[in-house]
Structure 1
Amino acid sequence: MRIQGQPDVYSILNAVQVVKCIDDRASREVRYWTPEDGRPEKTGQYRAVYGMRIDPIRVGATRVFRPWGWTLSLIVSDEVRAAALAHLGASGVRFEEVCPQPPAP
């Protein structure tokens, strides 16, 4: 995409797919809103997710998505990261592994 008056080419990604995939037990820490927090409309939803891990079985073949309940994060497959984003020289992004590695044989 070209933006008038800007010399660089821009790409925009609109990730609208949401997958219920956060693995609460494998993640370092997850917190939920409780009735005591005084936000009844949020009770039972994620309040914080640290060291997020996702369940690859729930993700299936999906390559770009946001995790249900924590849409602040954008999840991309390693193939998308390597082939598209790294190749394009995307700036302003940070990558963290969220899918556990398969056990060594």
Structure 2
Amino acid sequence: MKIVYSIIKLLILLVFLILAVSNTQTVPFFYLPGQEVDLPLIVVLFGAFVIGAVFGLFALFGRLLALRSENSRLRAEVKKSARLTEQDLAAPAAATAVVPAGKE
């Protein structure tokens, strides 16, 4: 299955590489009002992709922090539950050991 995923990734990379090589004509890019620079089209498209990826990561960052907090809370709850279970298991064993041998 890893080979299939690797082949698919390689094909997607080749498609993007072909698009990059075929889109080398320059286009005007206006980064400020009245400010223009001529860049290859692939540079503009790649820049838009990177900016979109960064904004997407920032959008998910808040959710990531909330999930980490919930994960920590649940782990603490599981540890507390495990400690209570260990105490419950140890308590009956201690109670049976306390009974004197002559008073059965």
Same fold (TM over 0.5): no
**Higher normalized contact order (CA 8 Å, seq sep 6+, divided by chain length):** 1
Under TM normalisation by the shorter chain, which class is it?
under 0.3
**TM-score when scaled to structure 2?**
0.22
Higher share in helix: 2
**TM-score when scaled to structure 1?**
0.22
